[in-house]
Amino acid sequence: MGNVILSSPTPTSVPTVDLFPTPVSTFDAFPVTTLEIFLPDEVLIYLLSFIDDDKTENAVELLNKQSYGVLHPHRYRSVEIEHAGVKHTVPLYYRELGNKYYIVPPHHNFSKYKCPQRHIHEGNSDVHTDWNAMQVDINTLLVHTGDFRYTKSTGFFNHHGPEYGGKVPLGSAFDCESPNSMTGISKIDLRGTKFAVANKFTVDGCCPNGDSKFSSNKQVVDLRGGGYCGWITCELADSELKASQGGYFLQLKCV
């Protein structure tokens, strides 16, 4: 392994980062201090196992060109997955802490709990969760539908309590409007990745209703669900608790 020089940027040079780092070309404009610390590559990578904050993790990667050269290919890696007897090389985002892999779909993925119009309780509203990345088990190709690390949610509905009332698992759609209603919607869109959806979706609850529409070689699934109260969700999420909290329930396949 080689060595990497850690140089501390001046406060004004620290970039604003979201989920994914700034392109390497921006480093040309980074002024650095004269303080330099020499670390082996493997030590720099080991440091990531102690960082749980994504902005801090990104900032460490963006310290200079050397740190970027070591950490960027470590975090954004190509992974070989064997599926149905065929080996596939897929790009995934890797988090050292927890040894987790994430699919980063280029298209919009979301899930929703539609607040009922028949009786809107004070403080309740539609709950909408947008998914920027989804955690996948690279051995089973099951997605953890309740890993909300890279999601953004708006609204709150108290049906599922304070912890889960403000977010909706991937692949689930709820409403509580009326018998056989299905105004809750959800969308899984894996176009631009090497994955497609391989499981069925089921409805459950009181007087439930719903449907799932597959398209684009099963890389896109449009879901509608609801009832009084009811939902649609992944077949493996066989209870309301699993449907509302999520787990390793969304089965994928390689394409």
Domain of residue 32 covers 3-75
pTM assigned to the model: 0.83
Amino acid occupying residue 78: S
Same domain for 32 and 121:
no
Same domain for 117 and 243:
yes
59 neighbors 4 (Cβ within 8 angstroms): no
Same domain for 114 and 67:
no
Average pLDDT, the chain: 84
Same domain for 65 and 111:
no
Return d(Cα 147, Cα 71) in angstroms, integer. 23
In a domain, 87, yes or no: no
Domain end marker among 75, 94, 127: 75
Q: What percent of the chain has pLDDT over 70?
A: 84
210 neighbors 233 (Cβ within 8 angstroms): no
What integer pLDDT is reported at residue 38 of this predicted model?
66
